[in-house]
Amino acid sequence: MTAPFLEADSENLRSEMHGLLQYINRVRLEIASISRPADDEHEFSTMSDQLDAVIKATDDASNTIMGCAESNEDAVQELRKLIKDPAQIALLDKISENDMNTIQACSFQDITGQRVTKVARSITYVEDRVAALTQLWGKEAIDKVELKGSDKTDDEKLLSGPALDPARAISQDEIDALFD
């Protein structure tokens, strides 16, 4: 009477083990694809570098914009000393107001930098976890996992955004040649 019960339990156990093995293989494939991306675009260190570049670019742009607005405001103040016409003074007031609005709008950079930094920290956290899992599983075992090719279209394969490394950057002449 216990034999059929054991047989059913054995089949359930076999089924559960098979499901678990499939799941483990899927996880291994995911870890392999994260630790060995098909292209540089999906590499975590590159993502962090890209986010750092976003922060630097927005910071540089904001500083340039604010510097220009402040310089404009200095010129407006000099013009105020020379101009007495109320209509022209009103235009100078409008320019000053626009300069102040521009400077205020540039405060987005601080918030953007904070948010991008949070994302970069999250990516670093995930990268650390993937590295730990890769080490736990064994790099050799992960390297043996066969990855499928990129699902990018031919056009997408050409687009990689601005290069962080100037040595890898495409020159303006090379870009212009594409349109000739």
- pLDDT, one tens digit per residue, over 52-70 is 888 888 889 999 999 999 9
- The number of distinct structural domains making up the chain is 1
3-state secondary structure of 175: helix
Prediction pTM value: 0.54
Does the residue 171 lie in any domain?
no
Does the residue 98 lie in any domain?
yes
Does the residue 105 lie in any domain?
yes
Does the residue 154 lie in any domain?
no
- 163 Cβ neighbours under 8 A, 6+ residues apart: 169, 170
**pLDDT value of residue 12:** 79
Does the residue 123 lie in any domain?
yes
Does the residue 7 lie in any domain?
no
> Comparing C-alpha atoms, which of 108, 71, 76 is closest to residue 91?
76
Tokens for 35?
A: 């630790």
Tokens for 73?
A: 């405001």
Does the residue 37 lie in any domain?
yes
The pLDDT confidence band at residue 75, using thresholds 50, 70 and 90, is: very high
**pLDDT value of residue 22:** 80
Does the residue 142 lie in any domain?
yes
Q: Structural domain of residue 19, as residue ranges?
A: 13-146
